[in-house]
Chains A and B, each alone.
Chain A
Amino acid sequence: MAGVIARRHRKQRIFRWAVLVVLGIFFLLPLAAMVEFSTRNAETWPLLVNWPKLSDTYPDLAEGIVSSLEQAALTAVLMLVLLVPTAIWVRLRLPKLRRLVEFLCLLPLTIPAIVLVVGLAPVYAWVTYFLGGSSLTLVFAYTILVLPYAYRAIDAGLSGIDVKTLAEAARSLGASWTTVILRVVLPNIRSAVLSAAFLTVALVLGEFTIASLLNRTNLQVSIELLGKSSATMSVAVSLAALLLAFVLLLLLSLAGDRRRSTKENS
């Protein structure tokens, strides 16, 4: 029996490395090509880290980067303000509405962004009328886009704690509902809120469809625009954006691990 298992382990190891090497080449080749392509012009990378010069040379790109960062931050805030109190409130007071809220939050998964943008065009005509055509108004649409991912993260966090008992304990000690939500429940789902915010930021930084078709700007739109005039620079920015997203998600997985290990220890 031990011989069989050892043989299987050897076979699995050979299989594992064969798969990893073949797919590794497939996945790393485009990244390596991006490095090679973006270093053909020696000035590209130094320019990319020199913000004043960059915004001078490529004002559109600089505007796109700033817009995307602002959109990411604002979307995360709006998503949290909208979703966290509602999710807690529905769990505590309106359990019958939970299915409806869940359905609405997961609905954007079945509506492709390209379809949403068709329907959003008339809504955004009103948004532009009231708030102007700033790229920051995209935050409204992005909050809808991130709903499914954010809801899942927050709902998983709420499932992990006993919201009802916590709330009843706080209420019986005279806490108001605002105190219950902000100072009792929220600190307990901190890591779920954090991962929802991380996912939001990653998704918003990668968004292109809605921004492009509603004639607004963000990082991806400016990269696409740049591709038409300076291919090297656009590839360099693409690579930088990919690496940034990778670091964000790696941090997210590390935070998730810490959450799990603290739960196991306690």
Chain B
Amino acid sequence: MADQAVAAPRRKPRGTALLGTVPFFAYVVIFLIIPTLVVVIGAFAGDDGGVSFANVKALTNGYILDAFGRSITLSAVSAVIGAILGALLAYALVTSKAGGTLRRVVTSAAGVLAQFGGVTLAFAFLATIGLSGFVTVWLQDHLSIDLYANGVWLFELPGLILVYTYFQIPLMLIVFLPALDGIRPQWREAAESLGGTTWQYWTRVAGPLLAPAFLGSTLLLFANAFSAYATAAALVSQGSPIIPLQIRGALTSEVVLGQQNLGKAMALGMVIVVAVVMALYALLERRTAKWLG
């Protein structure tokens, strides 16, 4: 009895303390964990409910592999272009006055364009270089250049790369700016006082310091483009060149017999790609934090 009396008050507060987190955990389980499990388990379930590898095997079908390939190409190309241009823009801002209007307006605009792309972005490009867009018409009227002489590429991979770059550059600016801010002017002065040239400073000091942050940001851009759906969905109405659009097809169209869970298998494939990329990103992030924290 005495033991219990001592133990009880100690156990009681912990129990009630846990009770306080129940709403949060219950919510996350219902709307995050269960959907994730639905995808993972569904990818390995046959139409009759039993275990089946048919869906995962179907991922090696030509058209799905092509879609994955195009998704990866689109993400990689737009990530590299976005990373390089975004880093240049970030450097241009860092050399300007800290806390100035230029910097504030540009970073706010970048915040909007990086996160608020989606459907509006598709319409922005339709108004610009769509078939009756501003630039298309202007080039036709004034310089008699036909943007689409070799076919309408806006709705295909080159068009998607161009449109994706529009939100990748701002994202790069946002994630790379803190790393550039971490570079101290004293390091450059130290390199110079030891007789180093600008070239040496960039290749021996700033370059190696910024490399992990740059690579990490590029990976983040890749994951961002790989997961993006809205822009492509609004732009491409015919065919499904990339994986997110294939998933749309699997969700909305009539289900092909024996492939009810194919969408889930494709979704699982996407999660795996993103998870690998994000794990590498976390690794590089830790390295960056060591130097520039």
- A27: which of B166, B226, B274 is its contact (CB, 8 Å)? B166
How far apart sit A104 and B29, CA to CA, in the bound complex (Å)?
9
Q: Which residues of B contact A246 (CB under 8 A)?
A: 108-109, 112
Q: With an 8 A cutoff between CB atoms, is A108 at the interface?
A: yes
Contact A114 B89 (CB under 8 A): no
> Is there an interface contact between A245 and B116, defined as CB atoms closer than 8 Å?
yes
**A46 adjacent to chain B (CB < 8 Å):** no
Contact yes or no, A97 B264, CB < 8 A:
no
- The answer on a CB contact under 8 Å between A38 and B127 is yes
B-side interface mostly: helix
Closest B-chain residue to A211, C-beta based?
Answer: B230
Are A114 and B227 interface neighbours, CB within 8 A?
A: yes
Binds B, one of A168-176, A184-192, A220-228: A220-228
Interface bits B157-176 vs A (CB < 8 Å: 1, else 0): 00000000010010000000
**A-B interface pairs (CB < 8 A), number:** 228
Tell me the chain B residues, 86-121 only, with Cβ under 8 Å from chain A: 88-89, 91-93, 95-96, 99, 104-105, 107-109, 111-113, 115-120
Q: Which residue of B lies closest to A226 (CB)?
A: B123
Are the C-beta atoms of A114 and B247 separated by less than 8 Å?
A: yes
Residues 72-131 of A contacting B (Cβ, < 8 Å): 82-83, 85-86, 89-90, 93-94, 97, 101, 104, 107-123
- B223 contacts which chain A residues (CB < 8 A)? 110
| Residue numbers in B under 8 Å from A8 (CB-CB) | 198
Contact (Cβ within 8 A) A23 B267: no
Q: Once the chains bind, are A234 and B28 in contact (CB under 8 Å)?
A: no
Least CB separation from A220: chain B residue:
B119
Q: In angstroms, how far is the closest chain A Cβ from the Cβ of B170?
A: 8
A213 to B230, CA, bound (A): 11
Q: How many residues of A contact B (CB 8 A)?
A: 80
In the complex, the answer to whether B124 meets A85 with C-beta atoms within 8 Å is: no
Question: Considering only CB atoms, which chain A residue lies closest to B18 in the complex?
Answer: A94
Interchain nearest-CB distance for B212 vs A (Å): 19
Cβ of A161 under 8 Å from chain B: no
Cα-based distance from A27 to B173 in the complex (angstroms): 13
Complex formed: what's the CA distance from A213 to B192 in Å? 58
Asked if residues B31 and A112 are in contact (CB atoms below 8 Å), the reply is no
Q: Mark interface residues in A56-82 (1 if CB within 8 Å of B CB, else 0).
A: 000000000000000000000000001
Between A and B, 19 residue pairs with Cβ closer than 8 Å are A19-B88, A20-B92, A23-B169, A30-B127, A33-B133, A82-B27, A108-B32, A110-B223, A113-B229, A118-B39, A119-B38, A123-B35, A203-B115, A208-B118, A234-B123, A238-B124, A242-B120, A246-B109, A250-B105
- Name A's B-contacting residues (CB within 8 A): 4, 8, 12-13, 15-16, 19-20, 23, 26-27, 29-34, 36-38, 82-83, 85-86, 89-90, 93-94, 97, 101, 104, 107-123, 140-141, 143-144, 147, 202-203, 205-209, 212-213, 220, 223-224, 227, 231, 234-235, 238-239, 241-242, 245-246, 249-250, 252-253, 257
Q: Which residues of B contact A (CB under 8 A)?
A: 13, 17-18, 20-21, 23-25, 27-28, 30-32, 34-39, 42, 85, 88-89, 91-93, 95-96, 99, 104-105, 107-109, 111-113, 115-120, 123-128, 133-135, 166, 169, 192, 198, 223, 226-227, 229-230, 233-234, 244, 247-248, 251-252, 263-264, 267-268, 270-271, 274-275, 278
Closest 8 CB pairs of A and B: A119-B35, A112-B227, A33-B134, A37-B127, A33-B128, A208-B230, A238-B120, A119-B38
11 extra A-B contacts, CB within 8 A, seeds A37-B133, A114-B267: A12-B95, A27-B169, A36-B127, A110-B271, A116-B32, A144-B28, A203-B115, A209-B230, A224-B233, A227-B234, A235-B123
